[in-house]
Amino acid sequence: MGGWRPAGTGKSVASREMLLSMLCTNTPEHLRLIIVDTKIVEYADFDGIPHLCQPICAGVDSAMRSLAWLASEIERREHLKNAIDMNSLRYLHKRLFGCYRRGKPIKLPPGTHEIFPDIVVVIDEFSDLLHFYGKEAEELLVKIMIEGSRVEIRVILATSIINRKEIPFSIRCCCYSIICFQTPGAGASKEILGKNSTEKLSRPGDMLCSIRDLPLLRVQGARVSMNEVIRVTDFWKSHC
């Protein structure tokens, strides 16, 4: 999924709300997160939660290492699916976790783990990766977005860049859904969604959502206070 919002209008708020929703409905055994925050402050409250695969990435170099790891994790999961002849990794995880809880773990091929949680990677201002790493970052992102969905690995991208020329077509066409908040004018709206409308959005959380093969939807995002974010993240930190 991709999210476009002009700088200074709180584009990271929507990503934090999505993360909070995931934390309220998933344990670390079922969901792992990778967060890339080059500004450091946007997701500081999430640092230390047990769902994280690693500490929050605060630079493009560490972000690229995380993407490289994700690419290898996709290949590992694909190999496992083929080895045990099972199409749905989510079903496998559910079955493995149930057997593990009952004290009757299923024997897997050597070198594989027992638990396969969903992985969601959130990249704030992913255009920074493209600026510093160019084609290498583009190819990694495309691989993860295309192949990752087959093994329960998802990507949330956020950027304030509106010019379509600065966002490669290969990445744009991989976005199953795109959300856009208020833009400064009709031209920006057309750049992002191909239609005018986002310049008319007003209230906080007001957005247009483009989902592949569906009509354009106007959606109202949740309004979550920072106190609520801290309450939920502190709960998980105290239970890790």
Q: 238, exposed or middle or buried, with CB in 10 Å at 0-12, 13-18, 19+?
A: exposed
Please indicate if the annotation marks 5 as binding a ligand: yes
- Nearest one of 132, 164, 161 to 67, comparing CA atoms: 132
Residues 6+ apart with CB under 8 A from 22: 31, 33, 51, 120
Please indicate if the annotation marks 203 as binding a ligand: no
How far apart are the C-alpha atoms of 180 and 193, rounded to whole Å?
8
DSSP 106: P
Please indicate if the annotation marks 55 as binding a ligand: no
Please indicate if the annotation marks 8 as binding a ligand: yes
Please indicate if the annotation marks 12 as binding a ligand: yes
Please indicate if the annotation marks 238 as binding a ligand: no
Please indicate if the annotation marks 81 as binding a ligand: no
Strand partners, 119: 32, 153
Please indicate if the annotation marks 231 as binding a ligand: no
Per the CB < 8 A criterion, the answer to whether 157 and 3 are in contact is yes
C-alpha separations of 14 from 147, 149, 204, 223 in Å: 25, 21, 10, 9
Binding site, annotated residues for ATP: 5-12
Show binding-site residues.
5-12
